[in-house]
Structure 1
Amino acid sequence: MAEARPARKTVTFAELGLPTPLLAALEEAGIEEPFPIQAATLPDALAGRDVLGRAQTGSGKTLAFGLALLTRLHKGSARPGRPRGLVLVPTRELAVQVADALLPLARSLGLWCRTVVGGLSFSRQADQLERGIDLLIATPGRLSDHVRQGTCKLDDVRFVTLDEADQMADMGFLPQVRAILDLVPEGQRMLFSATLDRDVAALVDEYLTEPVTHSVSPPTASVSTMEHHLLLVSREDKPAVVAEMAARDGRTIMFLRTKHHVDRLTRQLRAVGVEAGALHGGKPQGARNRVLGEFKDGRLPVLVATDVAARGIHVDGVSLVVHVDPPADAKGYLHRAGRTARAGEAGTVVTLVTHQERRTVFRMTEQAGVEPERTKVRPGDADLVRITGARTPSGEPVAEQAPRRPSRPSSGPAFRRHPARRRAPRPVR
């Protein structure tokens, strides 16, 4: 399907030929050396090749495609409502975090970088698009709304990146992604995905031309700085064990299966004195942004989330991930586990296992390629403290905050296929 090249060791970003203002912005941000995925993909991306990157979250892929996009957009000019570069991501939270990483770098080059996601004001986004935009970071659903309403046209887009394509496939977004790509004329394509299953492979074959493939990490949780534990617990002891882990020092993410369970656990934790916030798709976007922002800056030490909402969580410094409810499969385990031990940091992944869940969880971790330590625990046990840093909650309730309702855009006319959509191979630049 694609030519594969080994990762190259690069001492500095300057060796890659990035613009001087971009180098200065990276230095100011304390980013000194490229991560392996950046060193591997940037030479080909800067040369205009289509790129297929296989990398887990936390590998540095945002800058891998972001630096290439900004460099290629440098010195160009945007027309109102017509972005020149596009990044498609599966979730609102991921869009915000990609924007956080790229905005300061875009400013250094005098480029406008904006975000278009659901749950926020459609009219405000339309106004921003009308002012002109170089790089647009968007979720497929909201971008589709803007295209239908005529507030965003994709005729000028020459550079497209699909980030976390496997997650977009899992969430059912590929029809929208295809419709968007059909509107984009010929240009450079980059796709990043942790796995290349059938749907993603088909997307690559259809929309990328002779892509160069770079793989820098295997699709397993075999990171050397990540510890895996199965805590065998009774159903009666489980709530107290969860509360003690949540009361630890450090940034913690707790995963549950449903929105209802997330809200219930969050209320229970706050009732016993744990500063916890809930994140799931049923919450208004403003509330989701606030919770994630407070978690990212350290004001909120515990995030309680569903799998779907957590697909956009890319926060450094998460030292503990807890599967309060075991994930549905090995892929879900690996995705959740990837929230910790990012960029060389240490992290612990804990799965709570009741007697009825043992056989299923043992099989799942084996499929995920991990060999977790198994420990039977009760509230207050020394092993629970050793593994997670658990401690007794204060017992002083934390006040709740009222949610707000989001606004929704209206629908409009259907997509039309772009006449210049590329099918035939193009010369390598």
Structure 2
Amino acid sequence: MEIVILVVVIALVVILGAGGLVVGSRRKKKQLPPAAPPSPPKVTAPPAEPHVGDEAEAPREEPRRTVEEVPLPGATAAPEALEEVQLPPAPAIEQPEPSAGRLVRLRSRLSRSQNTLGKGLLTLLSRERLDEDTWEEVEDILITADVGVAPTQELVERLRTRVRVLGTRTPAELRSLLREELLTLVDPGLDRVLHTESHEESPAVVLVVGVNGTGKTTTTGKLARVLVADGRSVVLGAADTFRAAAADQLQTWGERVGARTVRGPEGGDPASIAFDAVKEGIAEGADTVLIDTAGRLHTKTGLMDELGKVKRVVEKHGPVDEVLLVLDATTGQNGLIQARVFAEVVDITGIVLTKLDGTAKGGIVIAVQRELGVPVKLVGLGEGADDLAPFEPEAFVDALIGE
């Protein structure tokens, strides 16, 4: 019985499975609705070409030009015209006036010193009675004019003796007497010649030294004019590299008289520039090389030592013929302090006194010569290009005491 039931169950399972397969196969054979035809691919139209606006001009043909015919940017003329452009003419070379006799021609520039020193002394000495008070006033005038204490005492003592011996004191006699005594103090026997003649294988070398503000660079330029006026060929060395405008200033002075200026970079080695200037002077066969050094304060020991270095380096080419110390006549006794310090570093051979026209202290000539035992060789008597004059003792004293 159980077997019969099992057979029946199996048969039912088989029948039900077959029916499902039939149903599934029927479902698969069911017709689907026809698919819609595929749409054609979408094509994007190219952008339209820009059209000429209503207000635009119709294009017109222009003649074509070659590369050679097209002007360069900024050019306003054809290449042929550009080649004909005239360059500005070179500055004319000036011909300075001769240095001989300049001090005589510039005598009027000493008017302030003349009024204070010469005329003041003549007025005192013309008094009817020359007592102690009068002689003290004479001393005061001389000291105020920066003659110096020792020279003043010498002059007053000689004047007192000679006036006592003469007995009479006419204006002409007093003027002659004062002229002789002042001339003795100025010392006409000192060698005031500027040694600027070249040697066989090298030019003469002149170092110009001094502190800031004395007119050193200007004096160097004016000295170049003095030498050119006397027939010398000159090369300038701009060894003042610590003042930005010094080299430009010196070069301007040189160009006016046709003198070449050797310069270097700002803040460069002054000794190197001085060396190159002398080397250039040798190559050009110049008569004289003028070297403008930096304005050194006499209190700056390092800078003063550097000045000594400049001199030693230049001497590798040959001797230094002149070392000119530029002093401002208006500084008075302070100029003597500067002179002493410079004389310790380099051997000063001559003094250049500037601004002597603007001071009542003409006696500084006497004082500085006594202090250094070095002659005053040049004096500046104005701001003009040719107002630097060789110092002439007789003309100087005559200018002090007047006609």
TM-score normalised to structure 2 length = 0.28
The structure carrying a bigger strand percent of its residues is 1
Greater share of residues in helix: 2
Q: Between Structure 1 and Structure 2, whose CA radius of gyration is higher?
A: 2
Give the TM-score normalised by structure 1: 0.26
